[in-house]
Structure 1
Amino acid sequence: MDRYVKTVPLAAEIFDVRRSQKLEMVKELKIEKARFRLEEEIGKSPPLSDEELWWEMRHKALELRDDYRIENRKAFANIWSDMVFGISLFLILYLNQSKVALLKFTGYKILSNISDTGKAFLIILITDIFLGYHSESGWQTLLEIIVEHYGFQIDSSAITIFVCFIPVILDACVKLWADSEVIPKTYATCCTNAAEDLVKDKANLVSDMLVDRFGRMHTYLRISLTERCNLRCHYCMPEEGVELTPTPQLLSHQEIFRLANLFVTSGVNKIRLTGGEPTLRKDIQDICFNLSSLKGLKALAITTNGITLAKKLPMLKQCGITSLNISLDTLVPAKFEFMTRRKGHHKVIESINAAIDLGYNPVKVNCVVMRGFNDDEMCDFVNLTRDKPINVRFIEFMPFDGNVWNVKKLVPYSEMLDTVSKQFPGLKRLNDPLTETAKNFKIDGHTGTVSFITSMTEHFCAGCNRLRLLADGNLKVCLFGPSEVSLRDPLRSGAGDEELREIIGAAVKRKKAAHAGMFDIAKTANRPMIHIGG
């Protein structure tokens, strides 16, 4: 440190005695001189000549100078050590976001288990202790300690102004946070309990809301959380991209929960979160946590491209995700980059393995098969099921706005089945429930399974039990149908549950028996897949 002070002029200036400290030295020297004179008067010390007194004062001044220099060096060291600590803490938190999110979730879970009275007591206690009117002296003491810690001069006026304004602002921020975070979660629990009572009283009314003219009971709701995505897949988004809905027009966390609660109390028992890429939504853990708490919901699933899933999956599982589908259209990294217009193939593989390690069984892998692109990899995908609990799902290429669908790119179910069965003669069909979208198969000796989703060549509309709630709040009763109805607008206009049920029920009743067929679908205006949700 001494060498540093000697070689760096600025450091010498910083570490030297500052003006305010010199003034303090003058005061202390005056006191010291007065002490010597007093001791002479009372006979405690022998009389000193002016020269002796001068040397005593000089010795004291040098001693004070050295003390202040040491104090300045300590303050400088405190600044640097605190900066290093702050940067290190930031890096640790940034590199361990999944653990931080899990810690945050644990805190929310603990908080949610506290009664409403307990929460109110804690909020009042904390705000009164740290932000109340009687904590002024505490703030002043704390600020003086901080100022001295960094070697700055204490300015009583500045501290007074700070204490007058900052605690009040912090108090308002804490109460705002309580209104936006704690109270909605409490409302979620209350809303669920109230909804259960409503179902008991009006079971026939609410169940009829989800039954269409053909007797299909819609017990499966797909909720798109966002239109944003970190990939640009050819079959999902046009090359020039899409215009995203402004954020204020998207459903909020509370709006999603209220609508989901309405559907679940009406008979929906499975919810799937989609996008865009749902893991890009910042409040996804809160959404999952609240949705998983809905009484009557048996499954909470998510469909994701897997790019950011590996880090977030432990937290998502804690928040209630029971099953997941991961999109992967090729096992060749170069093809992946071409198809998605982005890099990240290894991240998707990492997410699949992470899901297996966390005990998901099966881990569903969605693969859109396109002629001339990845149809030669089908058997390689099937090999993934040999030793791992993976359900590979081969999906027929479907037409949506902007994905340049062409029947020549479509590989029909019959051809896909023939390709797989030739390579794997032990392929056997499984019994599927009426509402199953996939045709499921098992291969002798394989841990996983193989499925085919045949939306184009052998549709499954007769057993369709799905509804889609888009990110902008529109309800879509058929993936390939252009008709939609807004639930966001009446919700924000103050519509009650009964009015919302009437809107939903009317939309469900208008659902057609089947889609128009792939050639007519290709000619019909519809949203891009990224707007609808995978």
Structure 2
Amino acid sequence: MDKLYDQYDRLHDYVRLSITDRCNLRCVYCMPKEGLPFFPTDEVLSQDEIVQLIENFAEMGISKVRITGGEPLLRTDVVEIVRRIKAVDGIEDVSITTNGLYLAKKAAALKEAGLDRLNISLDTFKADRYKEITRGGNIDQVLEGISVASKLNFKKIKLNIVLIKGQNDDEILDFLNYTKENNVNVRFIEFMPIGNSLKTWQKEYVGLKSVFDICEQNNLEYEPIELRGNGPSDNYQIKGHVGSFGLIHPISAKFCENCNRLRITADGYIKACLYWNEEIDIRSAIPDKVEFRRKIQKALDNKPLNHEMAMSETDRIIDKAPTWRHMSQIGG
């Protein structure tokens, strides 16, 4: 088996696969207020295309798949997609990132289909603030989904919190305290300048050192821990807490150096780097394993060491502009 390496000798064994660009929320960091035009149904990968694509990847050493969106639970066939992906020889871990609104209804079926892990977006515990950040979401549905999922023995449940100055950075302590009795990994994520103006991003960016500052101000003793999984977070556990917290630094730290993931958009493009516009259409190559492999390797050969390096060494980038896609159109 010829495994997938980029020009920096990084092994890639993890695919983030968007199965829809549609979402039932309009989160402020993910989508413009007016929403986005969604792809026509025939432009989105079909279930059979998805399964064949993962079979191709598995033959190249991919063992971990994260299903993303948009909101993946909006697809009526999401349970069957999970079941079929988990049945692919070589696929060891299947996870989903969801906003949690439909999770209470679908968690049991997803677990039975073989889903290993869940990432749930939850940027606040306050109902009015949640409605504001998501532009209309009902936090009670999400909390119910977390409660239902917590009883189903998934390998790990993670809560994703994008910290935004003036919106939810005053709730850091609430999230840390949540890990005292809840066996979840609360992950604080730096706000990224994707789909937002640089001016807006600079005004709303919060560095993650603030999490450590809150711990120290409240006499919370913590220590680094290792968590099995696919994510780029640095993880810690507060003394006496059953859960843990993680920090994801796409801006302030070495987020990219150990990158092992490829991103496939819902309309069938591969993005080797989250930030840059460069992408390659692989949908037409799915039935042809030789051509599929060639296109995947081409994307890897063009992958920069990190997005900051790409800014200064643009000769390594074919398309020298930041991505045109919003986060909901990439899959994160």
TM tier, shorter chain?
Answer: over 0.9
Letter in 2 for 1:482: N
Hey, which of these two has a bigger chunk of helix by percent?
Answer: 1
Query: What is the CA-CA distance between 1:513 and the residue it aligns to?
Result: 0.7
Paired AA for residue 289 in structure 1: R
Query: 1:259 corresponds to which letter in structure 2?
Result: L
1:528 matched to 2:322? The reply is: no
Q: Distance in 1 between matches of 2:16 and 2:275?
A: 14
Q: 1:411 aligns with which of 193, 206, 210?
A: 206
Bigger mean CA offset, 276-285 vs 523-532: 523-532
User: Residue in 2 aligned with 1:39?
Assistant: none
| CA-to-aligned-CA distance 1:350-399 (integer Å, 9 cap, x gap) | 11111111122532000000111100001101111101111100000011
State the secondary structure of the residue aligned to 1:395: strand
Q: Displacement, 1:444?
A: 0.8
Q: Which has the higher strand share?
A: 2
1:214–1:519 distance in 2 versus 1, CA, 3 Å: closer
| Paired residues, number | 324
Contact 2:95 2:118 in 1 (8 A): yes
Q: Structure 1 residue 216: deviation in Å? A: 0.3
Q: 1:254 to 1:261 in 2, by over 3 A?
A: same
Is 2:244 the counterpart of 1:452? no
Amino acid at match of 1:228: R
2:180 matched residue in structure 1: 386
- Following the alignment from structure 2 to structure 1, what is the Cα–Cα distance between the partners of residues 215 and 179? 13
Q: CA deviation at 1:333?
A: 0.2
1:306 equivalent among 100, 108, 121: 100
Return the match for 2:195 from 401, 406, 417: 401
Per-residue CA deviation, residues 496-516 of structure 1 (Å, 9 max, x unaligned), is 211111111111111111112
For normalisation by structure 2, the TM-score amounts to 0.93
Q: Kindly indicate whether the alpha-carbon contact (under 8 Å) linking 1:238 and 1:403 is maintained by their aligned counterparts in 2.
A: no
CA 1:517–1:308: 2 relative to 1, 3 Å:
farther
Q: Secondary structure at the match of 2:307?
A: coil
- Distance (whole Å) between structure 2 residues aligned to residue 517 and residue 368 of structure 1: 24
Uncovered stretches (5+) of structure 2, i.e. residues with no partner: 313-320
Query: Does the 8 A contact of 1:456 with 1:518 survive in 2?
Result: no
Residue 513 of structure 1 corresponds to which residue in structure 2?
305
Query: Which of 195, 209, 215 is the equivalent residue of 2:9?
Result: 215
Looking at structure 1, the residues matched to 302 and 101 of structure 2 have their Cα atoms a distance apart, in angstroms, of 38
Bigger Rg over Cα: 1
User: 1:268-303: CA deviations, max 9, x gaps?
Assistant: 111000000000001111111100101111110000
1:266 to 38, 60, 83: 60
Select which of 243, 246, 260 maps to 1:465.
Answer: 260
Change in 2 beyond 3 A, CA 1:531/1:450 = same
Q: Which residue of 2 aligns with 1:482?
A: 277
Which whole-Å CA distance do the structure 1 matches of 2:64 and 2:217 have between them?
A: 36
Q: Secondary structure at the match of 1:463?
A: coil
Q: What is the TM-score when the length of structure 1 is the normalising length? A: 0.58
Within-5 A mapping of 1:494-505: 496-505=288-297
Question: Secondary structure at 2:96's aligned position in 1?
Answer: strand
Matches within 5 A, 1:326-365: 326-365=120-159
The residue number in structure 2 matching 1:109 is: none
Give the structure 2 partner of residue 277 of structure 1: 71
2:261 and 2:158 mapped to 1: Cα distance?
A: 18
Decide whether aligned partners of structure 1 residues 424 and 358 sit closer, same or farther in structure 2, where only a CA change above 3 A counts. farther
Q: Give deviations 1:170-210, integer Å, cap 9, x for gaps.
A: xxxxxxxxxxxxxxxxxxxxxxxxxxxxxxxxx2xx31xx1
Q: Does 1:441 align with 2:236?
A: yes
1:403 and 1:381, CA in 2 relative to 1: closer, same or farther beyond 3 A?
farther
